[in-house]
Amino acid sequence: MSSLNRREFLYMMSVLGASSLYAKSHKKLFDVQNLEDYYKIQNFGNARFLHMTDCHAQLMPVHFREPSVNLGFDSNYGKPPHVVGSHFLKHYGIAENSRAGFSMTCMNYVENAKRFHKVGGFAHIKTLTDHLRGNFGKDKTLFLDGGDTWQGSATALYTRGKDMVEAINILGVDVCTGHWEFTYTEKEILSNIKDLKSDFVAQNVFVKDESLMNGVEAYNEDTGRAFKPYVMKKMGDHMVAVIGQAFPYTAIANPQRFIPDWTFGIRPDDMQELVNKIRTKEKPDAVMLLSHNGFDVDKKMAAVVSGIDFILGGHTHDAIPVAVPVKNSSGVTHVVNSGSNGKFISVLDLDIKDKKVRDFRFTLMPVFSELLPEDPVMKKHIDDVRAPFLDKLMKPLATTDNLLYRRGNFNGTFDQIICDALREVKGADVSLSPGFRWGTSILPGEAITLDDVMNQTAITYPETYLRDIKGTDLHNILEDVADNLFNKDPFLQQGGDMVRTGGLSYTIDPRKDIGKRITNLQLSSGEKIEANRIYKMAGWSTVGSKSPGEPVWDTVEKYLGDHKHIKNLKLETPDIIGVKNNPGIELSLYKN
């Protein structure tokens, strides 16, 4: 058993390096000089929650560059997570080139990644979370996973999420919810949930009325809920309710054809009714919401629903080092978001007394792989899962001079490769690729393997297409996706980034209404896109119906094989109006 020994832990904490002490954070986490200080102050109160979310099936340690553009406007202007790069460092008083700064921002990314190496990895996470649980008391600790766990890697796709179910079981997760979990078929999802040792909770997934009439099973036939909405858990002497909120727009952002019987939605009224019922019936000491809403949606939900103590959220992949308080009619709900890709474990300690949360401490803890020894049981599971595919997955397809990444409101460099591949291989004027927030990073000088390509593309609807599209329809697609990202009402934001484009340039004014944001739409040649002209468009990941072409990883593999080396990558990013002083963009990095 490779538990984390005290010296290693001391080393880890002392090298994080940031000066500030946030209100309600575990004291001196980023400034601790010795182990005793850390331990003395680390354990707070009488109930501990560990939270991870959006690991996207990254069993192995990864590089993951945080965004250089994540724009917020109006009430979210300059508010986390719409604060990036140097603005983020300043906002939180974190030293540039420190470990904290490296883990939470895009600044000097390549240089720092070479110094601090990879993050995450389930064998390393297991060591850290066992330590955090053992240190506080197993009977008083709950481990919550916010979903997007069964999807994002080659092996997760090949095993239909089963490799991750087993990993979550080994990790000892207590409660889960989902989003990309719902991109397998209903039968596969139910089978995976059966194999889970943790509770799978979702208050906002219902069996459609017509499906119920056709005999489809529901968790509760009276309410129509497809899954258990919440679970009561004992933590020491206290009872805590954990409610689940799956991604509300799963049936819009992802294909309905895999899950024809289920309907989603934010459903704040159902949430309020449920919280009231739990408060009255179960008399819990605390009510926690494990959410896959996305940060801004969670903030609005915290304002319109009362009676929730904490929202432990995910979906938008935001690494936010403090718990954000939101006022509502009965008090305050704190909202947390714990990053993605296994980079972070959030530690939330509550002091519960007389059926109330009196105080808390919260820390977003980066997982530095090289500082944490691998847990042998988890390592064996990962090795076993990968072994049958390893030769295929690790074969270098090409090398790169550029840092490759996806995350950010607009095209990342790996998206550019996908868009370029679609255009070149399929012979298209323009190409589109979804603005997913997952997808790991590759450092300059590294080889690009099939494993890497799958980390960008491993979905259950990867088929490509080449079709004719009218200029006006292309414009409408861009407007529609931009509205999902920039709508003023967070409840109308779906939490993906802007669709990635190849062979196109445009101007965007995010503050305008739908239909008026996108102007100046041109081919990369500078030729104006005409409303009534027909263009050849290539793409993949069609939500409505299955596309006829090869899976996109084949397209990208062919492109990489043809080019062998990626250099002078031309990143196609739009001109953005009105963001000169916006802290949601790191202008020094945005244009290459």
Partner 1 sequence: MKRRNFLGLGFTTLAVTALQTVGSASIMSEHPKAFLETSSDEAIKDIYGSNAISKDDKAVLKLPDIAENGSAVPVTVSTSLENAKTMTIFIDGNPRPLAVSWELQEGSMAKFSTRIKMRKTTNVRLIVEDANGKLHEAVKQVKVTVGGCGG
Cα separations in angstroms, 159 against 140, 198, 386, 462: 33, 19, 10, 16
| Binds partner 1 (CB under 8 A): choice among 97, 328, 399, 476 | 476
Burial letters 135-149, b for 16+ CB under 10 A, else e: bbeeebbbbbbbbbb
Q: Report the residue number, 263 or 449, with the smaller CB distance to partner 1.
A: 263
State residue 499 phi and psi, 5-degree precision: -60, 140
Query: Which window, 27-35, 331-339, 494-502, 529-537, contacts partner 1 (CB under 8 A)?
Result: 494-502
Burial letters 334-357, b for 16+ CB under 10 A, else e: bbbbbbbbbbbbbbbbbebeeeeb
| Binds partner 1 (CB under 8 A): choice among 232, 477, 523, 569 | 477
Q: Could you tell me if 137 and 180 are in contact, meaning their C-beta atoms sit under 8 angstroms apart? A: no
- Pick out residues in 203-242 that bind partner 1 (CB under 8 A): 209, 212-213, 215, 218, 221-224
| Binds partner 1 (CB under 8 A): choice among 131, 491, 523, 550 | 491
- Going through 367-508 in order, the beta strands assigned E by DSSP cover 396-400, 430-433, 447-449, 464-470, 500-502, 504-508
DSSP H helical ranges for 43-121: 85-92, 99-104, 109-116
- Pick out residues in 165-194 that bind partner 1 (CB under 8 A): 179-180
Q: Report the residue number, 215 or 526, with the smaller CB distance to partner 1.
A: 215
CB of residue 411 vs partner 1: minimum separation in angstroms? Answer: 13
- No. of helices (H) and no. of strands (E), the chain: 20, 24
Q: Report the residue number, 395 or 488, with the smaller CB distance to partner 1.
A: 488
If one asks whether residue 370 binds partner 1 (CB under 8 A), the answer comes out as no
Report the residue count for the chain. Answer: 592
CB of residue 76 vs partner 1: minimum separation in angstroms? Answer: 18
Other CB atoms within 10 A of residue 358 CB: 11
For residue 250, the surrounding DSSP H or E stretch is helix 250-253
CB of residue 166 vs partner 1: minimum separation in angstroms? Answer: 24
If one asks whether residue 437 binds partner 1 (CB under 8 A), the answer comes out as yes
Q: How far, in Å, CA of 193 to CA of 168, rounded?
A: 11
Q: Report the residue number, 251 or 350, with the smaller CB distance to partner 1.
A: 251
Q: Report the residue number, 399 or 460, with the smaller CB distance to partner 1.
A: 460
| Binds partner 1 (CB under 8 A): choice among 436, 486, 506, 535 | 436
Q: How far, in Å, CA of 565 to CA of 395, rounded?
A: 14
* Maximum CA extent, the chain: 70
| Binds partner 1 (CB under 8 A): choice among 64, 150, 405, 438 | 438
Q: Report the residue number, 124 or 225, with the smaller CB distance to partner 1.
A: 225
If one asks whether residue 405 binds partner 1 (CB under 8 A), the answer comes out as no
Alpha-carbon torsion (15, 16, 19, 23), positive or negative: negative
| Binds partner 1 (CB under 8 A): choice among 4, 481, 508, 585 | 481
- Pick out residues in 502-541 that bind partner 1 (CB under 8 A): 514, 541
CB of residue 258 vs partner 1: minimum separation in angstroms? Answer: 13
If one asks whether residue 249 binds partner 1 (CB under 8 A), the answer comes out as yes
Strands 230-235 and 464-470: unpaired
Q: Which of 551, 555, 560 is nearest to 396 (CA)?
A: 560
Q: Report the residue number, 101 or 503, with the smaller CB distance to partner 1.
A: 503
# of chain residues touching partner 1 (CB under 8 A): 45
Name the site residues for partner 1 (rule: CB under 8 A). Answer: 179-180, 209, 212-213, 215, 218, 221-224, 249, 251-254, 256, 263-266, 269, 432, 434-438, 476-477, 480-481, 484, 489, 491-492, 494-496, 499, 514, 541-544
